[in-house]
């Protein structure tokens, strides 16, 4: 049992000048379920990707069963008995489910150059049966399937390699409760078979429950390893952030504190297949939290309010103006702002300058006679914001992709703060930023709250909404499952109770 299947010594990985993995020493025993945890950007996915052969390491050694292991490709890794389910990969929608299970390895079903689809589907069905996975229509294209189904196909794909070492990156969050339990059983079975698993998940309690030992990463380096049986969520969280976190940068008061005036009134919001019958009011100076499991629809609510998705019913009423917000252009015009979750693809123009990014939402305010936008005005706005948020850059003409994650997020927020806001929608504003910037963002939110701006805070991180929100809307399956006030039973435990 104590023999190591995988041993990593002094591994380093750089992306440009970013030191993503620092001198990592890491090992997994045979028959061990290993947890890997760390904040966003701590380098855990990077580490797994190197083990799975997705990209090469820059230095260090990897030993598999005591022998030098240097995978050139995922296929290479598969051949060595290592397979991975990636966090944000998915399946090919234009191919049937069965083909997806064996994609890239279809040649094993080839006879005389022709792929025997029947044999392929049979083999796929055998995998589903062997590992006790819920049945999936193998002949259908995966395009119309639910996220959970697709994830299970990915899992089947990884298991079909018959791996000695299975890597799971954030898979539980897209599974429903039943299938999560199936996964836990599966892990137990793999363990009993003497196989090893490395699991990444953000859910600390879950990780402790399902693993044998946990390695914690911070800023690309291993900060420690603990036995799951002998640790507590608090200890792990402390290791993750490197200091006590409770009450440090969140709000200290435990009372809802906002004005009576309603800024935005949402009634019976309906977006097909995403959310239904969502109603709430947001008040001046209120931080309204929204939380829920991964397909609870919290992110869809933010998009729908800002008019980015076509809604099939309900109203989003901007009280002061007496307007119903129908599209994002209207929202922009009426002092609303939206910070999307996917910073690099949805929020920022990554190859454009800081100047362009900061000034883009304010162009209407900056234009003079004949629509003239003076370069002098945009420059002033950009340099003011850069100074105010202390964005680290050489000058405002620098392109945004040369900034660090935290500074990118400051640009993302700063472009809205230049405006006279009434309502700010934040979707996971602290995703992928380090602790310092995180604290800064919370302080900004408090400042905005004081100014009477209404904030809708959508977050995957429960401590964050609990720490900041006046009221918390808990969503489940696209519906509002409960609204909890800050002075009521405002604990993780009670919220999870409503969530699940």
Partner 1 sequence: MNKTRISFADIIPFAVFIVIFLFFEIASGGKMLSPFNLSTILEQSLITIVVGCGVLFVVAQGSIDLSVGANLALSGVVATWAANAAGGVLLVPVALLVALIVGIVNGVIVSKFKVPSFMVTIAMLIGIRGIVNYIQTIIGTQYIPESMTVLREPYIRYPAFVLLVIVMFYLFEFTKIGQYSKAIGENESTAEFIGIPVPRMKIIAFALSGLMVGFGTLFSLTSVGGTSQMMGVFFEIKVAMAIFLGGVLVTGGTSTKLYKVLLGSFSITIIVNGLALIGLSETQYSQSVEGILLLLILYVTIIANKRKNRVRALPDELEKTDLKPDQIITSGS
Partner 2 sequence: MQPLQSTQDSIKKINQNPLIFFLMLIAIIAAFAVFFNFVTGGDFLERTNVTVIISHIVWPTFVAWGICFLFACGYTDLSIGAIIVLGSFATCIFGNWYGYPGVMLGGLIVGTLLTFLNFNVFAFTEIPSWIAGISLAMIYEAVAVFLKVGKSTADLIYAEIDKSLRILGRLPWSIILLAAGFVAAYIIYNRTTVGLNIRAIGGNKEVAKALGINIVKTLLWVGLISGIFIGIASIVQESVAGRTTVRTGLTSIYVVFQPLAIVLLAQILQKRINIIIAVPICAVLIYAVFNLLTILGVPSGTLQEAFLGAFLILFGIIGQRGYKGVVK
Of residues 200 and 437, the one with the C-beta less far from partner 1 = 437
Which of 67, 135, 243, 493 touches partner 2 by CB under 8 A? 135
Shortest Cβ 445–partner 1 spacing (Å): 10
Q: What is the dihedral of CA 302, 304, 309, 311, to 10 degrees?
A: 160
Of residues 94 and 390, the one with the C-beta less far from partner 2 = 94
Distance from C-alpha of 456 to C-alpha of 441, rounded to nearest angstrom: 14
Shortest Cβ 351–partner 1 spacing (Å): 5
Beta-carbon neighbour count of residue 284 at 10 Å? 19
Residues of this chain, 273-292, that bind partner 2 according to CB under 8 A = 273
Which of 94, 260, 390, 394 touches partner 2 by CB under 8 A? 94
In the three-class reduction of DSSP (H, G, I as helix; E, B as strand; rest coil), residue 279 is classed as strand
The one of partner 2, partner 1, none whose footprint includes residue 348, by CB under 5 to 8 A per kind, is: partner 1
Does 352 participate in binding partner 2 (rule CB under 8 A)?
no
Distance from C-alpha of 317 to C-alpha of 41, rounded to nearest angstrom: 38
Of residues 134 and 436, the one with the C-beta less far from partner 2 = 134
Which of 2, 107, 390, 394 touches partner 2 by CB under 8 A? 107
Contact code string over 60-79 relative to partner 2, x by CB under 8 A: -------------xxxx-x-
Q: What angle do CA 228, 460, 402 make, to 5 degrees?
A: 100
In the three-class reduction of DSSP (H, G, I as helix; E, B as strand; rest coil), residue 20 is classed as strand
The one of partner 1, partner 2, none whose footprint includes residue 131, by CB under 5 to 8 A per kind, is: none
Shortest Cβ 16–partner 1 spacing (Å): 5
Shortest Cβ 179–partner 2 spacing (Å): 5
Of residues 109 and 249, the one with the C-beta less far from partner 1 = 249
**Secondary structure (H, E, C), 303-342:** HHHCCCCCCCEEEEEECCCCEECCCHHHHHHCCEEEECCC
Binding site for partner 1 (CB under 8 A): 15-19, 41, 219, 247-253, 306-308, 327-333, 338, 340, 345-353, 356, 360-361, 363-364, 367, 371-375, 390, 392, 394-395, 397-399, 401-407, 433-437, 439-440, 442-443, 446
Of residues 91 and 226, the one with the C-beta less far from partner 2 = 91
In whole angstroms, how far apart are CA 394 and each of 111, 377, 386, 398?
A: 60, 20, 11, 7
Shortest Cβ 101–partner 2 spacing (Å): 11
Contact code string over 159-198 relative to partner 2, x by CB under 8 A: -----------------x-xx-------------------
> Of 92, 91, 96, which Cα lies nearest the Cα of 121?
96
Distance from C-alpha of 17 to C-alpha of 375, rounded to nearest angstrom: 33
Does 86 participate in binding partner 2 (rule CB under 8 A)?
yes
Beta-carbon neighbour count of residue 128 at 10 Å? 22
Shortest Cβ 347–partner 2 spacing (Å): 15
DSSP 399: B
Q: What is the dihedral of CA 414, 418, 424, 425, to 10 degrees?
A: -40
Of residues 72 and 390, the one with the C-beta less far from partner 1 = 390
The one of partner 1, partner 2, none whose footprint includes residue 115, by CB under 5 to 8 A per kind, is: partner 2
Of residues 146 and 352, the one with the C-beta less far from partner 2 = 146
Helix ranges (DSSP H) in 160-281: 177-192, 204-210, 233-241
Of residues 179 and 386, the one with the C-beta less far from partner 2 = 179
Does 318 participate in binding partner 2 (rule CB under 8 A)?
no
Does 99 participate in binding partner 2 (rule CB under 8 A)?
yes
Half-sphere exposure of 458 (CA within 13 A, CB side): 22
Shortest Cβ 426–partner 1 spacing (Å): 13
Of residues 15 and 55, the one with the C-beta less far from partner 1 = 15
Helix ranges (DSSP H) in 360-434: 363-366, 375-388, 405-417
Q: What is the dihedral of CA 57, 60, 64, 70, to 10 degrees?
A: 40
Q: What is the dihedral of CA 319, 322, 323, 324, to 10 degrees?
A: 60
Distance from C-alpha of 53 to C-alpha of 166, rounded to nearest angstrom: 13
Query: Which residues make up the interface to partner 2 (CB under 8 A)?
Result: 54, 73-76, 78, 86, 89-95, 99, 103-107, 110, 113-115, 117, 134-137, 140, 144-146, 148-149, 152, 157, 176, 178-179, 273
């Amino acid at each position: 049992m104590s023999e190591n299947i995988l041993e990593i010594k002094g591994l380093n990985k750089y992306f440009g000048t970013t030191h993503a993995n620092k001198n990592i020493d890491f090992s997994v025993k045979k028959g061990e379920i290993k947890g890997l945890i760390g904040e966003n950007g701590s380098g855990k996915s990077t580490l797994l990707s190197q083990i799975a052969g997705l990209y090469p390491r820059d230095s260090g050694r990897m030993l598999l069963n005591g022998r030098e292991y240097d995978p050139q490709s995922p296929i290479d890794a598969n051949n060595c008995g290592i397979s991975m389910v990636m966090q944000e990969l998915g399946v090919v929608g234009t191919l049937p489910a069965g083909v997806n299970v064996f994609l890239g390895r279809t040649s094993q079903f080839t006879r005389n150059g022709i792929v025997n689809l029947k044999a392929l589907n049979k083999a796929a069905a055998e995998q589903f049966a062997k590992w006790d996975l819920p049945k999936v229509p193998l002949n259908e294209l995966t395009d119309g399937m639910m996220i959970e189904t697709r994830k299970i196909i990915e899992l089947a794909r990884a298991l079909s390699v018959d791996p000695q070492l299975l890597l799971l990156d954030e898979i539980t969050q897209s599974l429903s409760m039943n299938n999560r339990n199936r996964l836990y059983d599966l892990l137990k079975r793999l363990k009993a078979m003497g196989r090893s698993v490395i699991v990444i998940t953000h859910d600390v309690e879950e990780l402790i429950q399902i693993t044998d030992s946990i390695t914690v990463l911070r800023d690309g380096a291993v900060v420690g390893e603990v036995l799951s049986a002998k640790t507590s969520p608090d200890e792990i969280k402390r290791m993750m952030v490197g200091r006590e976190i409770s009450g440090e940068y969140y709000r200290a008061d435990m009372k809802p504190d906002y004005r009576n005036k309603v800024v935005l009134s949402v009634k019976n919001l309906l977006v097909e297949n995403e959310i239904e019958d969502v109603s709430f009011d947001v008040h001046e100076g209120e931080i309204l939290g929204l939380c829920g499991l991964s397909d609870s629809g919290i992110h869809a609510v933010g998009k729908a309010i800002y008019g980015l998705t076509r809604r099939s019913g309900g109203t989003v009423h901007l009280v002061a103006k007496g307007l119903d917000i129908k599209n994002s252009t209207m929202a922009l015009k009426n002092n609303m702002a939206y910070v999307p979750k996917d910073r690099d693809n949805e929020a920022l123009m990554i190859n454009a300058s800081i100047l362009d990014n900061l000034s883009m939402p304010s162009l209407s305010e900056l234009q003079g006679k004949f629509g003239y936008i003076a370069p002098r005005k945009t420059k002033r706005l950009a340099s003011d914001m850069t100074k105010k948020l202390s964005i680290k850059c050489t000058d405002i003409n620098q392109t945004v992709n040369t900034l660090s994650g935290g500074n990118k997020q400051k640009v993302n927020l700063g472009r809205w703060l230049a405006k006279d806001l009434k309502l700010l929608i934040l979707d996971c504003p602290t995703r992928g930023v380090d602790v310092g910037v995180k604290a800064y963002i919370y302080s900004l939110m408090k400042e905005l709250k004081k100014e009477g701006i209404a904030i809708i805070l959508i977050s995957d991180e429960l401590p964050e909404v609990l720490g900041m929100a006046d009221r918390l809307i808990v969503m489940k399956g696209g519906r509002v499952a409960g609204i909890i006030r800050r002075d009521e039973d405002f604990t993780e435990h009670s919220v999870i109770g409503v969530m699940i």
